[in-house]
Amino acid sequence: MKKYFTLFSATVFLIMVALIIYPNFRYKVITEETFVAIQPFGEFSTKEAKMMQQEISDFYHVNVTLLKPIELPKNAYINVKSSRYRADTLIRFLRKNIDSNYDFVIGLTDKDISTTKYSNKSTKTIKEPSYKYADWGIFGLGFMPGKSCIVSTYRLKEKNFRSRFIKICCHELGHNFGLPHCFDTTCIMQDAAETIKTIDNVQLNLCNSCKKKVGYHEY
Ligand SMILES: [Zn+2]
Ligand SMILES: [Zn+2]
């Protein structure tokens, strides 16, 4: 018993030391040596994918490669309320298939994507009303921190299309870099809170606190 206790104490001590040395361990510092791949799915517009390649590289100052389009994985397809692809399955698929040359991959699709919204993630309690949130249509989803994210243009109507699309892609990549939702209303990492208006009201900008966390450089 004593042996286990010593082992436990030593582990706790090491974790604390690691946290002191690397307080920002959950954040990934992005540099010009960071490689991001864009993976278009199906018939996704090449023009829009190319535009996003430029925008992400301009915003985060990282290397962005546009990959050849591939089909959406069939196991992500679901038809609960309407034809959709599960965002969680798509980001797992992207993470699993990412070429080791890339640090991050962002998938782009024009199909509708969805996830389950929980009121309590640890107990997997679906947010009420559950018929609404069990399969909830979204703009994008990304692991935090993680290697992959997915953005869909399906819910982006013509109004402000381009700026909405860019902000959502930079937001989901921000999650991959380890950034959680931010309370600064001038920051693209704020929670869209189920409305596109939040996205329209924010400039394409990271607040100083988020910038610092990922080592963002102004050029
Ligand atoms: Zn988010
Ligand atoms: Zn922020």
Q: Could you tell me the distance, in angstroms and rounded to a whole number, from the CA of residue 57 to the centre of ligand 2? A: 19
> Is the Cβ–Cβ distance between 145 and 27 less than 8 Å?
yes
Q: What is the pLDDT of residue 86?
A: 97
In this prediction, residue 8 carries a pLDDT of 76
pLDDT tens per residue across span 79-120: 988 999 999 999 999 999 999 999 999 999 999 999 999 999
User: Which ligand is in closest contact with the Cα of 192?
Assistant: 1
Give per-residue pLDDT as tens, 35-45. Answer: 999 999 999 99
* Residue ranges for the chain with pLDDT beneath 70: 1-2, 5, 15-25, 219
The rounded Å distance from CA 105 to ligand 2 centre is 22
Is 203 exposed, middle or buried, given 0-12, 13-18 or 19+ CB atoms closer than 10 A?
Answer: exposed
Q: What is the pLDDT of residue 15?
A: 65
What is the Å distance from ligand 1's center to 30 Cα? 18
Q: Ligand 2 mean position to 202 CA, how many Å?
A: 11
Torsion-angle region of residue 194: left (phi > 0), alpha (psi -120 to 50) or beta? Answer: left
| Closest ligand to residue 183's CA | 2
pLDDT of residue 22: 54
Closest ligand by atom to 188 CA: 2
Q: Which ligand is nearest to the CA of 206?
A: 2
Q: What pLDDT does residue 81 have?
A: 81
- Orientation of helix 161-176 relative to helix 46-60, angle to 10°: 60
Instruction: Give the Å distance between the CA of 171 and the centre of ligand 1.
Output: 6
Sign of torsion over alpha carbons 64, 65, 68, 70: negative
Nearest ligand atom owner, CA of 202:
2
Three-state DSSP at 194 gives coil
CA of 170 to the centre of ligand 1 (A): 10
Ligand 2: centre distance to CA 179 (Å): 8
Confidence (pTM)? 0.87
Nearest ligand atom owner, CA of 203 = 2
Cα distance between residue 185 and residue 207, in whole Å = 9
Q: How far is the CA of 75 from the centre of ligand 1 (A)?
A: 24
In the reported structure, the alpha carbon of residue 190 is separated from the centroid of ligand 1 by a whole-number distance in angstroms of: 7
Model pLDDT, residue 62: 96
